[in-house]
Amino acid sequence: MARPEKLLHMEYSEIMQKSYIDYAMSVIVSRALPDVRDGLKPVQRRTLYDMYELGIRHDKQHRKCARIVGDTMGKYHPHGDSSIYGALVVLAQDFKMGMPLIDGHGNFGSKEGDGAAAMRYTEARLQKITEDAYLADLDKDVVDFVPNFDETEKEPEVLPVRIPNLLVNGSEGIAVGMATSIPTHNISEVIDGVIAYMKDPDINTSQMLEIIKGPDFPTGGIVTNKDDLLEIYSTGTGKIKLRGKVEIEKIKGGKQAIVITEIPYTMLGANIGKFLNDVYNLVESKKTTDITDISNMSSKEGIRIVIELKKGADAENVCNLLYKKTRLEDTFGVNMLAVANGRPETMGIVPIIRHNVEFQYELATRKYTTLLNKEREKKEIQEGLIKACDVIDLIIEILRGSKSVKDAKRCLVEGDTKDIRFKTKTSEKDAKKLHFTEKQAQAILDMRLAKLVGLEIEALMADYENTMKNIQNYSDILSKKSAMAKTIIKDLKAIKKEFGTDRKTVIDNVAEAVFEEKPIEEIDVCVLLDKFGYARVIDMATYERNKEAADKESRQIIFTKNISKLGIFTNEGNLHLVKVLDLPFGKFRDKGCPIDNVSKFDISKESFLLVEALDNIRDKKLIFATKHGMIKLVEGSEFDVSKRTTAATKLADDDEVLGVYIVSDGDTFVMQSKNNYFLRIEVEGVPEKKKGAIGVRGIRLTNNDELIKVHYLKDGSNKIVSVKGKKISLNRLHIANRDTKGVKR
């Protein structure tokens, strides 16, 4: 008989909330955030441990990255090869890591953003510092080992890292609802900071910053807000302002060049290309006319970006322009978030070091406990061998008189002689007094005769004395915190001596860059717009010389100032603004550029009805007419706005603007419908509205009819249209009232 199903009634929102929290915590702890103890994310920790297990030491041959990635994925990290290889590559990049942990062989990417070669081509091995300061003592039970994902292997819960790697190499990661961003620091300063904390646990952030000056990025550069670092390193959050290092060099022709030798850390990768493009855009948009050329001469030896200036240019002012308008000056957002005691926590610099020091004490306690136990075991065996040397003749007699090893061992341990044949009763009597331990007895049985040589016995005594010293030393370390601290500090100083580096990043307070933009000389210009939507600007003298050709070839000619803005009114009811300065200025026969390239006007979705300088319409009125027959007048000053795109009028659903015209008193306009109704209205008869209004009905349309054309007639002008082969002179149409049907033609 089938067992009846048991239905559980639960609130759906509670299930979703619990599932989301479980997922979020899994990503936070198991994927995205580093552990405060070793400063590593799980994928980094597993990759380094796998290389350690594979024996890929710093003094051994490089091994294929594909081999390392495959082994790591199969044993410890079942999340795809790309994430493992990506982590491995970063661990080998000296321009991203404060202290690279992997020695890469092959193409591991570049500062300019070039990606690493495929893992089947590259090779890697551990760096010496990784072996000495990150993976040493794993065999001494210093950390807990946990089952891997399928419980077929064991992996360390955390690596026994001897330095605050979270500070030395920093970290970046995006979890669910939180992210970490920790800058790199100088290893020598960080070690000094740890030693200072161990000597004075009450040290504050201000005192710590006298030792650890601030971030030390592998790309160098300059931190410009030194005074803000105290707040940033106290709270664990804030913004560090960075600048590239710039030098002014003299080049041929009496000119100068700005040479960038160090870049902000945030400019690494594709942002170098973006910087070069931004400089090019500054020249194109005429923000500066002092730059004549830019070239990227960077190589493996370092960054070298050369910006050549024209003769007589103010190099310092151009530098300030680059600081203001490009990523040569940038900010690094700090959020020192890491997993501490199984939970994500934002910490300042002193708490991070405190967690690390507590971890160092834990590592040292477990290490010296393991070493002490081993020395005690060694002491027991050594004492047994020394004692055996004193009665070696008796032991030989016991061995020769025993029928089995078991009998001999029982005699050595318990003094049991019943199954052993002795030469004399005295020997038997002495044998009954033997009381070796199990381990001592086994060591005696395993001892080679060569150990009985005089020199060997002396060596045994010397080893015993050394073992006693080790036991005393390890016992002191474990029983006295001061002795343990002294040992840890000694190890840290040794690491600093071998692996310490000089600081790369300068920490200073630098005044904000001030760029003095040269005032633009205001001149009268002529904007030429051709039938293809290309626009260009020429001066008035050029226009006068080419007036006939310009009038003939141009769709529209706009006379304005070079500092003015053009307004593009479209059929979608939008107004797009374009600075005249953004349009190419030059010769009459220059091609110009598409007007949609310098504005948000989308030529694929809308068409322009009127292009005019805002200065020319500010004191005038504009009339709008739509497909549904709606009309209105709007003051031109309403369009004097700062946004690049704004709504020029409000439209009903499925409506569009058919015409926008600058009007004057005495003018008329004619509305023409699809069913050939014509209505001529005076401008004075159209009510004035705000640009956000739909307007009023201009022509009363019958069912299935709509407006198809609006003809604007300046006072005294005429226009002839053809309807069914019949020509109609629009200025002869009777002027009627608004909101009427008009006449059919």
Residues known to be catalytic: 121
For the CA atoms of 487, 489, 490, 496, what is the dihedral angle to 10 degrees?
Answer: 150
Nearest alpha carbon to residue 643 among 699, 600, 606, 612: 600
Instruction: Give the integer Cα–Cα distance in Å for 98 and 190.
Output: 11
Supply 412's token pair. Answer: 């050595």
Are the CB atoms for 281 and 273 separated by under 8 Å? no
Supply 289's token pair. Answer: 């006319």
With both helix axes pointing from N to C terminus, report the angle between 81-92 and 65-75 in degrees, rounded to the nearest 10.
Answer: 130
Amino acid identity of residue 165, one-letter, is N
Are the CB atoms for 377 and 474 separated by under 8 Å? no
To which residue do tokens 């600058």 refer?
Answer: 662
Instruction: Give the integer Cα–Cα distance in Å for 244 and 164.
Output: 27
User: CA 76 from chain center: how many Å?
Assistant: 26
Which residues, in sequence order, are CB contacts of 400 under 8 Å at separation 6+? none
DSSP line for 85-137: HHHHHHHH-TTT-SS--EEEES----TT-PPPPPTTT-EEEE-HHHHHHTSTT
Are the CB atoms for 715 and 659 separated by under 8 Å? no
SS (H, E, C) 536-591: EEEEHHHHHHCHHHHHHHCCEEEEEECCCEEEEEECCCEEEEEEHHHCCECCCCCC
Instruction: Give the integer Cα–Cα distance in Å for 359 and 356.
Output: 5
Amino acid identity of residue 94, one-letter, is D
Gap between the terminal Cα atoms of the chain: 90
| Residue 554, burial from CB neighbour count under 10 angstroms (0-12, 13-18, 19+) | middle
Are the CB atoms for 88 and 47 separated by under 8 Å? yes
Nearest alpha carbon to residue 536 among 521, 547, 525, 522: 525
Calculate ∠ Cα 74-69-58, nearest 5°: 120
The backbone torsions φ and ψ at residue 579, rounded to the nearest 5 degrees and listed phi first, read -75, 135
Pairing of strands 574-579, 565-570: antiparallel
